[in-house]
């Protein structure tokens, strides 16, 4: 009986450990967008927006270096709220986490469809140096400290609309996880 109880307890502890390891990390950025270049057909310049990127802490990179990992994000993993409406990436996207010497960064690239028009969107969040460790080359991780201040032009969003071109918007706000 004691052996059976011990086995069940060890199984439960192991299961709890696996469940804890599979936590979802949500990187969130909120701020005011400043038009840096382009025609801004979406009218985002001067407006406030929020982005939330969800990824499993156990995700494996599709590629990596000693200090960075690139991860595949499923459709819907990126949520952008702007002007009272929320939009999601309409197909798989990529996210690169980097612990570079100059600064840690989060870079996401994906497609968003709005009113039947698909735009390619790239967002770069520049964090304090050392916010990530080189472990991001193996799995996503929370950055520290949190929250952090985001400033334009180091943190920015570029969106490209077919036949219209690219618009670059700086981000002034904060990031957390």
Question: In sequence order, what are the residues at sequence separation of 6 or more whose Cβ sits closer than 8 angstroms to the Cβ of residue 155?
Answer: 29, 31, 124, 125, 126, 170, 171, 175
What pLDDT does residue 108 have? Answer: 96
Task: Indicate the pTM of the whole model.
Answer: 0.85
Interval 38-57 mean pLDDT: 93
Name the DSSP letter for residue 83.
Answer: T
Contact call for residues 153 and 13 (beta carbons, < 8 A): no
| Separation of alpha carbons 126 and 131, rounded Å | 10
Backbone angles phi, psi at 159, to 5 degrees: -125, 140
Most confident range, picked from 7-21, 59-73, 84-98: 59-73
Model pLDDT for residues 126-169, shown as the tens digit of each residue: 999 999 999 999 999 999 999 999 999 999 999 999 999 999 99
Residue 20 has pLDDT above 90, yes or no: no
What pLDDT does residue 21 have? Answer: 56
Residue 4 has pLDDT above 70, yes or no: no
């Amino acid at each position: 009986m004691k052996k059976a109880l011990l086995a069940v307890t060890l199984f439960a502890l192991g299961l709890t450990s696996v469940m804890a390891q599979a936590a979802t990390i949500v990187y969130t950025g909120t701020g005011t967008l400043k038009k840096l270049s382009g025609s801004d057909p979406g009218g985002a310049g001067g407006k406030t927006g929020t982005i939330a990127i969800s990824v499993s802490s156990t995700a494996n990179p599709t590629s990596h270096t000693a200090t960075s990992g690139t991860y595949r994000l499923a459709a819907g993993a990126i949520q952008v709220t702007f002007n009272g409406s929320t939009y999601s990436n309409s197909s798989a996207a990529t996210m690169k986490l980097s612990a570079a010497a100059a600064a840690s960064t989060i870079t996401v690239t994906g497609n968003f469809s709005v009113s039947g028009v698909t735009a390619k969107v790239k967002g770069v969040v520049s964090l304090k140096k050392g916010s990530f460790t080189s472990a991001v080359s193996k799995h996503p991780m929370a950055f520290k400290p949190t929250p952090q201040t985001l400033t334009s032009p180091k943190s920015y969003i570029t969106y490209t609309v077919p036949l219209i071109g690219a618009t670059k918007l700086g981000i002034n706000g904060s990031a957390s996880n």
